[in-house]
Amino acid sequence: MLKNRLITAMILGAVFLGALFFLPNLAWALFLLVFILAGAWEWGGLVGYSRGGKIVFLVTTAAFAALLLPGLPGMELWNMRLSALLLLNATLFWAVLMPLWLAHRWRIGGRIAPVLVGWLLLLPPWIALLNLRHIGPQLVLVVMLTVALADSAAYFSGKRFGKHKLAPQISPGKTWEGLIGALIAVTLFAGALCLWKNFSLWLVVGFLTIVILSVIGDLFESLIKRHAGKKDSGSILPGHGGVMDRIDGLTSTLPLVAFYVYLPFYRDVLVNL
């Protein structure tokens, strides 16, 4: 299991790095969209859609994403406004609503809620990756490395020292010791980065916030899988499960990082709606 997990992670990492540093903007967007649409298919299964329902959700998600593709003539202003609104709503969803959702362990019901929540899970991280890459591929890499490091440190420290359950009714395998291990590992990583690049050490607080957000995203997907009676969101990635299993910590972190980084720009865009 661990061997398959490591091999899959190395292959995905190599492909992702090649795309991140060498693909032009539109090709980068389409490359990422493949994973988003795979996640859309898995989300349809998690919320109980029939095969037909999953196809409809997949197609509507693709159509929505098409409106946000970079470089479409005459769509630049619309693209900016819709991107800002999606990132704002994702920020509110994760920072305000999600703590309540996890505390009460709400179920997703009705016809509209699964669609809206699915779009908030999948489209804002995609937009965030497109926008953060404009600042620099290195920024994308640092954020994703932080989430990956936190996930790995939590896994190994939890396996070695875990005794106290973090959220036993949502994800019995997660422990406070695992969370502490993740926080320590990311603190060391962030501190070393700040010293190397001469950044303010206050940036460490931002990195630790990313860790907490990644845990929230992980717990939310665990809750959805528990309600669906499934261990994994899919089986496309050996050792990892599905795409949603691999990006759960990114769904909650990337939108908030992008919204924070672009806050002055998005504030002007939203004010002028």
Q: Which pTM does this prediction carry?
A: 0.91
Question: How high is the pLDDT of residue 6?
Answer: 74
Number of Cβ within a 10 Å radius of residue 237: 20
Question: How high is the pLDDT of residue 9?
Answer: 76
Structural tokens at position 126: 């995609």
Say how far residue 250 (Cα) sits from the centre of its chain.
2
Question: How high is the pLDDT of residue 272?
Answer: 65
With contact defined as beta carbons under 8 Å apart, do 272 and 78 qualify? no
Angle CA(230)–CA(235)–CA(237) in degrees, nearest 5?
130
Burial of 29 (0-12, 13-18, 19+ CB in 10 A): buried
With contact defined as beta carbons under 8 Å apart, do 102 and 219 qualify? yes
Report the distance separating Cα 247 and Cα 52, nearest Å: 25
With contact defined as beta carbons under 8 Å apart, do 79 and 68 qualify? yes
Q: Tell me the sheet residues that pair with 171.
A: 167
- Whole-Å CA distances, 256 to 42, 217, 243, 262: 23, 12, 20, 10
Question: How high is the pLDDT of residue 145?
Answer: 93
Each residue's pLDDT expressed in tens, for the chain with a length of 273 residues: 556 667 777 888 899 999 999 999 999 999 999 999 999 999 999 999 999 999 999 999 999 999 888 776 666 777 788 888 899 999 999 999 999 999 999 999 888 999 999 999 999 999 999 999 999 999 999 999 999 999 989 989 988 888 889 999 999 889 999 999 999 999 999 999 999 989 888 899 999 999 999 999 999 999 999 999 988 887 776 666 788 888 889 999 999 999 888 887 766 666 665
